[in-house]
Structure 1
Amino acid sequence: MADTEAIGRLEDLMTLAPELQAPTYRHMDRLYATRTIKRGAQVHPLPAGRAVDVRYRAGDAEFGIDAFMARNLTAGLLVLKNGRVVLERYAMGNDAATRWMSFSVAKSIASTLVGAALHDGLIASLDDAVVAYVPALRSSAYDGVTLRQVLQMSSGVAWNEDYLDPASDRRRMLRAQLDQDAGAVLAFMATLPRVAPAGTRFNYSTGETYLVGRILAGALREPIGDYLSRKIWAPFGMEADAYWQLDAPGGQEFAGSGVNATLRDFGRFGLFILGGGMAGGQRVLPEGWLRDATRADPAQRLAPGTLEGYEPMGYGYQWWTFPRGAQALPELDGGLFAALGIFGQQLYIHPKEQLVVAIHSAWPQPVHGPSLVETHALLGALAGALRA
């Protein structure tokens, strides 16, 4: 779409008028400084598979794909089975070339880069102290917190993620971003108090993923976006350049949000993960990384169904996990996990079904329960139809 589209303001990002959501999400580079994530010379093919058209149930009614997209303000829906496109739809002015805002889907990309840095020896251990990579946090509540605890959002540091409360920490961080000062967000994070021993309490925090970016910045010998390009985006064969929001002009990638890419390239990222972290014939992630990053063992502290307010999901290394066995969602047993962003940005990966589903949306609220429930119903219908 043309760059002349009317868009909203960064300070209003959580409360945009509905007519401004889609134009803003596809033109975020007009609101903040960015760094390009460069594609490579080759493109990973997405051949057509046998098309699927399913119906799913929501409440007492049954709906098809067109109704799903209309009811849930879906701008793009891509379904890959065994690496082949079986369903691809666009709406709200989007097409296959549209680069769309990820919101917190970026968190899972950032955590994956921690795995890559661990494999490259740039990070020694997830049990390293955060302050070893971010010395500015010495004497803050993050002194004594490990990388693993930050990846699991279990630092014990206070945080209020409420997107609609102007006094919440998430909104205060957004105001710090508006300063376009490279040190403003980190200075804010250093003021937060401790409320629980490290490693004992889950507390979803975009600020915590901003620190994942700071950890990466302290470990890498290059900008985070360049590292993503060199390790994954180019060698795996993404079709288009993407870009990542910076905390200030020339600054650090805002790791908790701000990756803008095409729907097909988000799908390709899902295929990279589904394939165990290989790109260009080279191993990018350590052996066992994805098992640990998406672990859904019922006996673990962050197991699905144990996180109050987030049921039935659990949490891994910045990936949402789903129940297995008798407690699983219908049709979705077998290790489903997801990268999820507010306003309906979603990337689901189901290893057992060899299924990747990427969704771009403009939900009316940051977290919209009815749309999430309908999405899970659609996933179950897709898995069942494709299995048949």
Structure 2
Amino acid sequence: MTTLQRYRAAVLPATIALLLGACASSQTPPVATPERIGRAQDLYELAPAYQAGTYRHMDELFYTRTVHRGPKVHPLPARSEVAVHYNAGGQRLGVDAFMQRNQVSGLLILKDGKVALERYAMGNDASTRWTSFSVVKSISSTLIGAAVQQGRIASVNDPVTRYLPQLKGGAYDGVSVEQVLQMSSGVAWDETYRDPHSDRRRMFELQLANNPGALLKQMSGLKKAQAPGTAFNYSTGESHLQSELVRAATGMTASDYLSERIWARLGMERDAFWQLDSRAGQEIGSSGLSATLRDYGRFGQFILDDGVIDGERILPAGWLQRATRAAPGSHLEPGKLYDGEYALGYGYQWWLFPAGAAALPNHDGGAFEAQGIFGQFLYINPREKVVAVVWSTWPKPEMDERERETYAFIGAAIDALNQQ
């Protein structure tokens, strides 16, 4: 639906009703305000006024597939609300200030599987489905674990070309499934979001072009830059391969597999939807899943519960220990990803927190997160039994100071929960 069509659908019926009822009533009925939704091609440069509406309605801009929920909803009971105060910019701030300063549109904190804090802003509510951006990378990697548990993928040590023969003869020869999960394939990739000539923007253009199979073809044409397993290079294209792997190994779409193994079993409140590379095509394994705040929280709780649902093991025993740890001395350890300029490390598409880092109080070495551009977070702390979900509309894709402030807020929430 175009912006003009949305305007007509929202405004004209109310206007006609107003004219017809003018003789019968002296009161003016409210007129609906049309949602501000940007253009698909402007996704990385949206004006702030268009971000929230666009992030709520990605299914109006892109081809999507439904991730169906099951017949029952798993309750998230409430506990006493936690009062959070944290320090930023030399000030002592609370929840409202955190949300305003960081353009936060949704905030959820679970402790022991119970809601300790839940807030909405910018027109969102409990029924809103919000886009994840790169948070979905961690959901896609979890589907790889589910496929391993079922024997659909024999081992993460298998060459990726065993399942995706389209990649044979190129830079992915000799690269394992695990090295793809760790973004350590050694394949060259430029992730710059606002550079129209980057590999990431080329991938986005191919998605907009509605050309089935174009993304996998793009990946097959990349060049090798380093030996596999020796260096980290953040690659949304590499994350997309997870969706391709799931389809190849299971014979199911990633949406259907996510529904069958997790979404329907876990008791989600709403169906989710997932962006595709083309009409009726392949899910973007690196971006574009939209779900409610509480359903992201439920997924985080599933991870916190070691990938078990109602006594059934969905993820292999030990999978999350392997997926959320970096081998000692490896290039993936916290603080080693970008020549020591970034505190976090990397696992199977999960960002890993360092142990005992003064700059990240209350985040022990076992904590990890999924993170998306413009300020989307799914944070999991197994020791503290805390899950946090944050939706934001940052004006830039990456903002280090806001990332640090988000960690400060979550750390303060953990501290406050421990004092309740």
Between 1:295-304 and 1:187-196, the stretch displaced more is 295-304
Structure of higher RCO (CA pairs closer than 8 Å, 6+ residues apart): 1
Query: Which residue of the other structure, out of 46, 49, 58, is the alignment partner of 1:28?
Result: 58
Aligned-pair distance for 1:300?
2.9
Distance 1:252 1:280 in 2: 30
TM-score where L is the length of structure 2: 0.90
Q: How does 1:110-121 map to 2 (within 5 A)?
A: 110-121=140-151
Aligned-pair distance for 1:311?
1.2
Counting aligned pairs with the same residue, the percent is: 56
Distance 1:28 1:254 in 2: 13
Letter in 2 for 1:344: G
Contact 1:119 1:285 in 2 (8 A): yes
The residue aligned with 2:248 is 218
Query: Which residue of the other structure, out of 376, 380, 386, is the alignment partner of 1:355?
Result: 386
Contact 1:296 1:324 in 2 (8 A): no
Instruction: Tell whether 2:102 aligns with 1:76.
Output: no
- In terms of Rg, which structure is larger? 2
Ranges in structure 1 where 5+ consecutive residues have no aligned partner: none
Query: Which residue of the other structure, out of 369, 375, 378, is the alignment partner of 1:338?
Result: 369
Equivalent residue of 2:369, what SS? strand
Instruction: Tell whether 2:138 aligns with 1:104.
Output: no
Aligned-pair distance for 1:334?
4.5
Contact 2:161 2:167 in 1 (8 A): yes
Instruction: Tell whether 2:204 aligns with 1:203.
Output: no
Aligned-pair distance for 1:211?
1.0
Distance 1:368 1:114 in 2: 30
Query: Which residue of the other structure, out of 338, 344, 347, is the alignment partner of 1:316?
Result: 347
Distance 2:91 2:358 in 1: 24
Contact 2:79 2:116 in 1 (8 A): yes
Letter in 2 for 1:180: N
The residue aligned with 2:19 is none
Distance 1:221 1:186 in 2: 17
Letter in 1 for 2:158: D
Aligned residues: 388
Letter in 2 for 1:378: F
Ranges in structure 2 where 5+ consecutive residues have no aligned partner: 1-5, 11-33
Task: Give RMSD over aligned pairs.
Answer: 1.5
TM-score where L is the length of structure 1: 0.97
Hey, which bits of structure 1, 4+ residues long, moved more than 4 A?
A: 1-4
Q: How does 1:131-170 map to 2 (within 5 A)?
A: 131-170=161-200
Contact 1:339 1:348 in 2 (8 A): yes
Provide, for residues 284-340 of structure 1, a one-character-per-residue CA deviation record: whole Å limited to 9, x for no partner. Answer: 000000000000454333011111176110000000000013667212225110000
Equivalent residue of 1:325, what SS? coil
Distance 2:173 2:90 in 1: 52
Aligned-pair distance for 1:281?
2.6
Distance 1:5 1:234 in 2: 30
The residue aligned with 2:265 is 235
Provide, for residues 167-197 of structure 1, a one-character-per-residue CA deviation record: whole Å limited to 9, x for no partner. Answer: 1110111111111111111111112111101
Instruction: Tell whether 2:330 aligns with 1:300.
Output: yes
Contact 1:140 1:191 in 2 (8 A): yes
Contact 1:296 1:323 in 2 (8 A): no
